[in-house]
Structure 1
Amino acid sequence: MRSISLVESLAGSLRLANHSSLRPSISMCGNPRYRSLSRYYGDHSSNRFTSTLKLLNMGEGVKTLRIGTDTSAARELIEEKLPYVCQIEVDGDETLDVITTCIDLKVPVILVAGKLTAEGNKKVESVLTAQSMSRLVGPGCRTFAIPSAGIRSAVNETEDYIPGRLGIIAVEADASTIIKTTAKDGMGHAAIFELASREGGTYSWELLQWMLSDSSKAEVICILAKNADTETLAVYKRYVQAAPENEYIKKVFAILGDGDEKLWEEAGIRVANDEGHLVELIRKELEIIDKKKATVDKSEVELTDIPPAGNTN
C-alpha cells in the first residue's frame, strides 16, 4: 500500500495583489546573506516568493498533496492533481527528486520538511531560478500552517491551529507552546511558520513582509528567534516609515534566545520577557484592535437619506 496520502480541498479564486510595496529596502541589499537569496530566486529586487505566499491567504481551502515515505508514484500523482502546495516529508535523494518534479510541473509552493545535503542544495539552485513558477518553503520547515486556507502541515502535527489573526514566525525555536496557548485563549492563527534553520529557500524577513501586507489576515505578529536578524528588522522599520498617516500599524512582538534586544526595540519591535509575557502582549494588542474597530466617528460618515422601497414621494 502506498504511503502517499492526498489531503485535498478545492481552492476558491486565487488573486495576486499588487506587490510593488513589498520590495526589500535598498539598505538590505549590501548584506551578504541577503545577496545569497539569488541562489534560489535570481534578482532579488522584486521578491516573487513573497508574492506567491500572498495567494495562500484565502478563506477557502487550498489544494494540497502530501508526499510520504514512498515516492514511487509521486510524479503521476502530482501531474494528476496539480496541487497548489506539495508537502514533501521524506529525506535525502528522494526529497530532491520530488522537488525537481514539482518545479518541472510548476507547483506554486513546495513545502520541504526534511533536509537536503550540500550537493542536493546545489542541484536545487540549478533548477529553481527567478524564472521558476515554484517557490520553496524550507528545507527544514517543521510547521507551515494557514488555517483559513485549510493548510495544516507540520512535522509536529497538532490540532491546535484555529483560524484567527495572529501570525507566528519561529526560526530555530519551538513555537508549540505559543500555538497551544493562543489557541486555548481563542486568539486563533492567521499563519504559522516554524523553520528549523536560517538556511534554505525561506527567510524570516520574507514571511514578515507577507504578514505585514494588506492581503495577510495577520493583525498581530510574533517572532521567536535566537538572535537579531538585521533583514527582518529592516523590513519592519521600512513598513512603519512607509505607513500612511492615521493607518493602523501592525504590531510585532518577539522572544529572543540571546542577542541584542536594543536592535529590536529600535526597530519598533517589543521584546517579551518570556512566553507568558508574549501571550499577554498579544492579547492586549488584539483587544486594542477590537476597540478601534468598534469605534466609529459618525461625523466622518456620509449619511444619505434613501426613501423606503415603493415610496415615490
Structure 2
Amino acid sequence: MPPQRATLLQVAQRAGVSRSTASFVLAGRHLDMRISEDARQRVLRAAQELDYRPNLMARSLRTKVTRTVALVSDTLASDPYAGRAINGSLAAAVAHGHLLFIGETEGDPVVEEKMISDFLDRQVDAFVYASMFTRYVRVPKQLKGRPVVLLNCLTRGSQPAQHQIVPDELAAGWSAATTLLEAGHSGGIHLVGNPGEHVFAARERLAGIREGLHTAGARLAGTIECEWWPDSAYEAVSRALAEGLLPRALICLNDRIALGAYQALREAGLIIPDDVSVISFDDSELAAWLRPQLTSISLPHYQLGWQAVEKLLGPPTGPAVHRLPMPVRRRASVAKPPVR
C-alpha cells in the first residue's frame, strides 16, 4: 500500500501553529494575514520534513478551479509533425501552472460529445478546440459560454466569439511567390497539387501566390494537378514532362508533393535547382532530408499551440482571429532560372 500523505493538520502540529495559520503560509498569504517570519519558517520546514503536498482535489471542490485545460482535437495528437502543437500547448500550460489533458476524437461526433462531457465532469477550467487541418468548424454546444480557444480552425462570421489561432496561409503563398521572384524567376512557374476550393490551405496559398506574382507583373504558367501525396505528384509531373513541359520553377502545395516532383525531375534528367527550382509548404522533416534540401514555408505548429493556451490563460482580451507568420526556410532548391 502507498504511504499515507501528510495532512495540513499534521504540518500545523509539528510547526506549533494553528491549522489556519499553516494554510495561510502555504497559500502565500502570510503578509496580508500578518504571520511572523518565525512562524512562516516553522511551517515551511514542517511541510518539507513531512513531504506535505496539498490535496488538489479538495481544493478544487472548494474553489471550483482545477487549474486544468483540455485540448480536444480530431487527429492532431497522433500526427508526429503536427503534434508539435501539443508540445507548444503543454509548455504554455506548464508556464501558467496548469495541467493539460489531451483527447482525440478521430472526427467522430459521438466520441467528441462523450469526451467533452467527461472533461466537464472533471471540472476542467478551459478548452482548446483543435483541428488537424485548417478548416471551418462549429463549436460544440457543450462548450458554449465556457472559456474556449480554437486552434487551427475558424468559425464563420465577421465577429468571432472566441480567439482563433491559425497559420497565415495567404502570406505564405505570397512568400513562396516572392522567394522565386527574388531569385530572378518571372516565367515558367507552375503550381503542383490540387488547389481545390474546399481545402482552406490550398485556397489561401494559391491566392497568396497569385497576388505575389501579380505585384511583379508575373503569373502562374499553369497547374500540374495531383493529390497531396508523393506517388500522385510523381505520376503527374512525369506525365507533364513526357508531354514536353519544361518548367523553370515548381511551387508544390506541400513537402510530400515536392518529394514526388523531385523523383520525376531526376528521372527526366533535370537537375534541381540548376534546371528547375522547387519551393514548397509545411517545412516538415522531409524538407531537410531531401537532396538538395528543400526550400519550404514553415507551418508554425509549436507557436500555434503555445498561442492557443496563452490566449486562454493569459490576460483577457477581446476575441479575434490571430494569423501566425509562416517563415521561409531557405535551402538549396531555389536558384536563378537557367538561360535557355
Task: Compare relative contact order (CA 8 Å, sep 6+) and give the higher one, 1 or 2.
Answer: 2
Superposition TM-score, scaled by structure 2 size: 0.27
| Bigger fraction of residues in helix | 2
Superposition TM-score, scaled by structure 1 size: 0.29
